[in-house]
Amino acid sequence: MSIEIKKNEIVNLDKIAANALSTLGISGSFEQTFAVAEAMMQLREAITPAMMERFMGLQNCKLGFMTDKNPKVWNKRENKYNEPYDARVVKDCVIEATLRGVKTIGNQFNIIASGCYITLEGFQYKLKMLEGFTEFKPSLGVPKIAQGGAIVECEATWKFKGVADSMKATIACKGDDYAGSDSYVGKAQRKFLKRIYERVTGTSEPDGEADAETTQLSAPAPVADTPAPQFNTASQPAQDAGAKPAEQSDFKIVDKDPADFTPQEKLKSFMETAEVRFETFRDWAGRTERLENHDSYTTWESLPAAFCEALAKDTKSLGKCVTLNKGK
């Protein structure tokens, strides 16, 4: 029999979270730091065993939140079904999600690699709740298949506190032979909304170290003794499990097919999405003797096409480049 949760206990949780969220807009990094740290300590103490029983019941449910440890999914590496996350991990992720401004229901966050990952639905909610954010008109182009995934043209206009603004972006999404258009659209939507939210609020939203794909989050269990297929993954964040089909979201699919990307444009899109600056990439290519006279190149577009094409096929080197140079 489930233990009853008292109303005043729930009110106390909301009060602690609200007090912490109210400090995020003030100046003074130490004041923010201590307020959030204090809120996390208080929430850990205030969340009762009865509450955790409910939170655990929301795990791996689209009405709650998905994880990469769905017990209905076969884990090929361990040759067994996944074991769900324990209460300690779930509690910390629920607290982080709450303090980052999303709900613990409606698949607004996932638990990936034991960390909190804000989903497409989460960023839709954060933008919707953002005071002064109005007249949002986003659109996506048709996904264009590229090396190792697809490239999607995104654009949007909006007003924030009465001031008109807009954004255009070319977003590269990881994928495999089993990925479809809806998969790429969902990934692009999430990345694009994250960029818009960061611009409007002047903040940076961490993505954690997620590396699972949608198949890992939502694949059905195998029939009889046949292991469920697991597809190769890379360092890109997981696509949001349970994401709504594109035609049901705030986005509209624009019937347009962008001109074919050049090898330079594909490399640029991939590296910028991976947060690798051109100058950093160019120096890496020079140090590793992949690009002669590397100092003579000043833009992505100026790179030799043959060099870009060869590097696109060398996925191992691309992965090393991102690992060594991301954010530098």
Convert 16-40 into a string of H (helix), E (strand) and C (coil): HHHHHHHCCCCCCHHHHHHHHHHHH
**pLDDT at residue 126, rounded to an integer:** 94
For residue 246, which phi and psi values (nearest 5 degrees)?
Answer: -55, -35
Q: What is the pLDDT of residues 27-61, one digit of tens each?
A: 456 777 787 888 889 999 999 999 999 999 999 99
| Total-model pTM | 0.64
**pLDDT at residue 260, rounded to an integer:** 62
**pLDDT at residue 49, rounded to an integer:** 92
| Alpha-carbon distance values, 84 to 208, 223, 243 (Å) | 19, 20, 21
**pLDDT at residue 271, rounded to an integer:** 84
57 three-class SS? helix
CB-based contacts of 153: which residues, under 8 Å, 6+ apart? Answer: 140, 141, 168, 169, 170, 171, 256, 258
Query: Which parts of the chain have pLDDT scores under 50?
Result: 26-27, 209-248, 255-259
**pLDDT at residue 249, rounded to an integer:** 52
**Domain residue extents for the chain:** 261-328
How far is it, in rounded angstroms, from Cα 266 to Cα 269? 5
**pLDDT at residue 95, rounded to an integer:** 93
**pLDDT at residue 29, rounded to an integer:** 64
**pLDDT at residue 215, rounded to an integer:** 35
**pLDDT at residue 177, rounded to an integer:** 63
